[in-house]
Structure 1
């Protein structure tokens, strides 16, 4: 299974769909959530509707949503082969109202570093009154490494390493 998370608008939520068992056992119940992820590029609109199945106790999550709402869905993609053809099913695990994450930061502030990463030093901005320092001197070119075409010593196949 492949797990993913997606954010899109709700296009449709189905009522409970009852699928009878083939062998007379208990029927299977599901609800379908259809997301509208239509996009536009260069003035052309490309419709994209994605069906996600919710079954069992996960169906009740859909009761508090309606078409037109933006949601974030976590789901799994299941694939199977049947008579030489391949089929996918997207099984919903959770659905929640979309909450936009803040990606910009106030001017002059940086986000806090992730735990375990060193803090970057904060340097003052160069005032406009500093004179132009010109270019930095160029470092000398590194000497060729042994085993490279510039340094000779190639392996038996002409590669800079041996098997």
Structure 2
């Protein structure tokens, strides 16, 4: 679609979007944990060892935030997105560690369907996933997203 804006009608079940990748760094992992999730196993190697994780691991919320950045840059920035009414089935499958390279994908698994609260929008469901360097899933969620419908003047052009 190039630089064209993507509207609700431009998505169909089965469409999969490669969102790119992000390398996990120890400095970012520690900074996020110190500010938002200061559990011991997110704050140092020795704590991660003591808690049975085999070393330092990322907060699951940091993992979700890394996905969100890929999702915005790789899909939402070129779309007529309005909001998200929620998430289903958020899962973390295995620890994320410094040096991991995470790859993001979003697959349309439902919609577009009518929005009950926004007649100018449709609801889509995306299965969102991060895989690690070896290709194993480390994070998955089903995200409900409101996308604006194509404006009538563009639809009739």
Please confirm whether the aligned pair reaches a TM-score higher than 0.5, indicating the same fold. no
Larger C-alpha radius of gyration, 1 or 2? 1
Say which structure, 1 or 2, has more relative contact order (CA 8 Å, 6+ apart).
2
More helix as a share of residues: 2
TM-score using structure 1 length: 0.28
